[in-house]
Each structure stands twice: as C-alpha cells, then as structure tokens.
C-alpha cells in the first residue's frame, strides 16, 4: 500500500502525512509491549485476590485443626501463615499499588507521550494498516469500519 492510500483508510487510525514505516512499526511495538504490561497488571490483581482468599481460608484451617485436636499445628498456621507478608513488608495490595504507581504509570505515560509526539495521538496505526492489507474489500465481514 503506498503512502497516499494509507491516509484516511480507518478514521483516527491512519498515519500522519510523512510518517515513515519504521516509526509506525516502533509505535506498534510500543503498543504491543504496553498491552503485555496490561496483562501483567491483571495477573497481579488475580494474585492479590487469590492470596487474599487463601489467607481468609486459613481461618477455617485453624478452626478445623483445633477441632481435630491438632492445637500445635493450628498455632503454627495461625502464627506463621495467617496475615503473613508475601514479600518483605508487603501484602499483595501494596505490591499492586507500587506496580500501578511506578512501572505501570510510567509505561502508560511514555507510550501516550510517544503517540502524541510522533503520531498526533493516534493509536493502533500499525494494526489499522495491517487490517487494511489483510481484509477482502467488498466482502461482508471485512468492512474497514462499522459504518461501511
């Protein structure tokens, strides 16, 4: 697809006049990396919820061990596991907050800044051009936009 054909194909996703292929590819890779970091964030929240649920389950474990006459083991679970830090000085909510406020926030800001400065804020230019190359023009289910 030549540079003239690329402009205006998918509203809000076409490259700016004069944008070179390498810049479009770099922004596409940066977007892909950010999408991976979004997934990492989701996994951290999953870990946060799973660890919290496991910790709350320990209340029942302690109760059942006591009922079964295993007071020493119940004491150990209660003393060494119940409410234990996952990392030194941190419960999972603290890990999630540090990730969100540090690495995640920086990654989002840098990706947004790159898009603003290099692509006029447009997102997914690389993917939009791939869509345009791969779709079958005029075929149902292959429209460029929902309005087509």
User: Per the domain annotation, does 138 fall within a domain?
Assistant: no
Answer left, alpha or beta for residue 124, where phi above 0 means left and psi between -120 and 50 means alpha: left
Distance CA 34, CA 67 (A): 50
Q: Are 136 and 142 in contact (CB under 8 A)?
A: yes
Dihedral over Cα of 14, 19, 22, 28: its sign: negative
Per-residue pLDDT, 9 = 52
Per-residue pLDDT, 87 = 97
User: Per the domain annotation, does 145 fall within a domain?
Assistant: no
Per-residue pLDDT, 41 = 98
User: In the predicted model, is pLDDT for residue 2 greater than 60?
Assistant: no
Higher pLDDT, 1 or 44: 44
Per-residue pLDDT, 120 = 94
Q: What is the pLDDT of residues 56-99, one digit of tens each?
A: 999 999 999 999 999 999 999 999 999 999 999 999 999 999 99
DSSP assignment of 1-12 equals: --HHHHTTSSTT
Number of structural domains the chain divides into: 1
User: Per the domain annotation, does 134 fall within a domain?
Assistant: no
């Amino acid at each position: 697809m030549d540079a003239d054909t690329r402009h205006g194909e998918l509203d809000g996703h076409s490259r700016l006049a004069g944008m070179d292929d390498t810049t479009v590819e770099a922004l596409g890779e940066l977007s892909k990396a950010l999408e991976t970091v979004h997934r990492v964030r989701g996994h951290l929240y999953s870990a946060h919820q799973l660890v919290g649920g496991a910790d709350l389950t320990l209340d029942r474990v302690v109760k059942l061990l006591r009922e079964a006459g295993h007071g020493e083991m119940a004491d150990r679970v209660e003393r060494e596991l119940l409410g234990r830090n996952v990392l030194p000085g941190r419960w999972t909510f603290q890990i999630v907050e540090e990730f969100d406020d540090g690495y995640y926030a920086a990654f989002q800001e840098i990706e947004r800044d790159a898009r603003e400065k290099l692509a006029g804020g447009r997102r997914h230019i690389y993917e939009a051009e791939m869509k345009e190359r791969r779709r079958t023009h005029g075929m149902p289910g292959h429209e460029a936009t929902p309005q087509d």
